[in-house]
């Protein structure tokens, strides 16, 4: 059993059940809305498309059009699907169902967390986040690993060379969706400060038991506005302005 499989099992283990309200799969983001104990919550995860199934008889989401017939916890079980599109749906459902640990959240952007801990140090960021240009002069040395490298990035295949050198490692939670989380985590040094970042990140202390020191994710405050944005192809910069808040948690608060 892989580390990420065990991580998903732990996340699912203590989830409450709830009524599934809606599922929306947008161009960039997938949103799941649930009702738990009278509270309506929305969880996000990055959309993972699969163009190869566009016209096939084996669709990426076999129950498309009927997803709201699932119980909320049943939809969360999609994290174990063979379809990465369904994994994103499942993780969005997990993020919607997770208890709101507001007392453990700090309203701080991952950029500020990395800049604080990475001052004068070697920092590796897996995933080209919009803040990497601003971050570069604030840390000792910055490597950005990206599957589709832009100017200044390194290809993802450089991870075995780069990650062992990192004092601070920030990994996009997209790695939970594309099955690369385990391999990346295995490359880091035991003393490396490790962050899991991005709106897909489950805001759960369970991650601290799997080698993550700091988690930075997103909380949906304005559900209606966020759903409109998701349905109309908004990127995260747009969703943030529509009513999504960025928060961080650290294992120091446990």
Distances (CA, A) of 89 to 19, 23, 57, 118, 249: 15, 8, 20, 33, 23
State whether the Cα torsion 207-181-142-200 is positive or negative.
Answer: negative
Strands (E), 72-229: 122-126, 141-146, 154-155, 168-172, 193-197, 214-220
DSSP letter, residue 234: -
Distances (CA, A) of 233 to 21, 48, 57, 85, 144: 20, 14, 26, 16, 26
Tell me phi and psi for residue 46, to 5 degrees: -65, 135
Residues 135-153 have a mean pLDDT of 94
Residues 115-136 have a mean pLDDT of 96
The percentage of residues in the chain with a pLDDT greater than 70, rounded to a whole number, is 96
Judge whether residue 254 has pLDDT over 50.
no
Which domains are present in the chain? 3-100 (3.30.390.100), 103-218+246-253 (3.40.50.11590)
Nearest to 28 by CA among 242, 247, 232: 232
State the pLDDT at residue 102: 86
State the pLDDT at residue 88: 97
The percentage of residues in the chain with a pLDDT greater than 90, rounded to a whole number, is 86
> pLDDT per residue over 164-214, tens digit each?
999 999 999 999 999 999 999 999 999 999 999 999 999 999 999 999 999
Judge whether residue 251 has pLDDT over 80.
yes
């Amino acid at each position: 059993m892989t580390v990420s499989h065990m991580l998903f099992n732990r996340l699912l283990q203590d989830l409450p059940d709830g009524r599934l309200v809606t599922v929306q799969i947008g161009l960039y983001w997938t949103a799941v809305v649930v009702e738990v104990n009278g509270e309506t919550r929305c969880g996000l995860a990055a959309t993972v498309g699969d163009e190869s199934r566009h016209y096939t008889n084996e669709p990426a989401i076999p129950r498309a059009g009927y997803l709201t017939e699932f119980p909320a916890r049943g939809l969360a079980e999609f994290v174990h699907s063979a379809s990465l599109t369904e994994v994103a749906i499942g993780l969005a459902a997990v993020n919607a169902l997770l208890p709101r640990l507001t007392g453990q959240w700090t309203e701080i952007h991952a950029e500020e967390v990395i800049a604080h801990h990475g001052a004068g140090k070697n920092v590796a960021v897996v995933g080209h986040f919009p803040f990497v240009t601003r971050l570069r002069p604030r840390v000792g040395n910055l490597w950005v690993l990206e599957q589709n490298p832009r100017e200044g990035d390194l290809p993802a295949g450089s991870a075995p060379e780069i990650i062992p050198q990192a004092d601070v490692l920030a990994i996009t939670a997209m790695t939970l969706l594309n099955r690369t989380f385990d391999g990346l985590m295995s490359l880091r040094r035991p003393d490396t400060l490790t962050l899991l970042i991005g709106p897909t990140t489950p805001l759960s202390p369970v991650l601290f038991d799997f080698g993550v020191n700091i988690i930075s994710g997103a909380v949906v405050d304005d559900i209606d506005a966020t759903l409109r944005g998701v349905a109309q192809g908004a990127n995260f910069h747009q969703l943030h302005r529509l009513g999504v808040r960025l928060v961080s948690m650290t294992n120091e608060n446990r």
